């Protein structure tokens, strides 16, 4: 059985699909692999952020995109937040937003 990727809300879907073309192409490639093989691909495709939060690590000539996600029952992956990474470390406000949404999804 394959995995299914969904978005936390339409705004997150728009943020993700509005990545610059190179980053979006890489995101879609990784998303296809996740749907087929599951979310535990490991680096360089995905990484763990702790507490049940993971990241899709998209790269393109335009920079780096991150999509923070969690897994749910029934082989579902929920993209909680997507953003273009501008610094080495994931910004706290981006991480906090994803953690807040993670708590909402887990209730």
Express as a percent the part of the chain with pLDDT over 90: 81
| pTM metric for this prediction | 0.93
Question: With 80 as the cut, is the pLDDT of residue 71 above it?
Answer: yes
**Residue 101 CB partners (closer than 8 Å, separation 6+):** 8, 80, 81
Give me 79's structure tokens. Answer: 């993209």
**53 DSSP β-pair partners:** 50
Mean of the pLDDT values across residues 63-79? Answer: 93
Question: What are the CA-CA distances from residue 1 to residues 35, 36, 56, 74, 87 (Å)?
Answer: 9, 8, 21, 10, 37
Q: Tell me the mean pLDDT in the region 52-78.
A: 94
Q: What is the CA radius of gyration of the chain?
A: 13
| pLDDT for position 3 | 95
pLDDT (tens digit per residue) in 92-102: 999 999 999 99
């Amino acid at each position: 059985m394959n995995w299914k990727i969904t978005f936390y809300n339409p705004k997150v879907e728009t943020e993700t699909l509005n990545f610059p073309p190179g980053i979006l192409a890489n995101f879609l490639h990784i998303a296809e692999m996740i749907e087929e093989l599951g979310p535990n691909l490991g680096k360089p495709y995905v990484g763990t952020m702790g507490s049940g939060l993971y990241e899709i690590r998209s790269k393109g000539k335009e920079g780096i995109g991150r999509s923070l996600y969690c897994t749910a029952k029934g082989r579902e992956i929920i993209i909680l937040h997507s953003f273009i990474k501008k610094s080495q470390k994931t910004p706290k406000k981006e991480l906090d937003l994803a953690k807040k949404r993670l708590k909402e999804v887990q209730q």
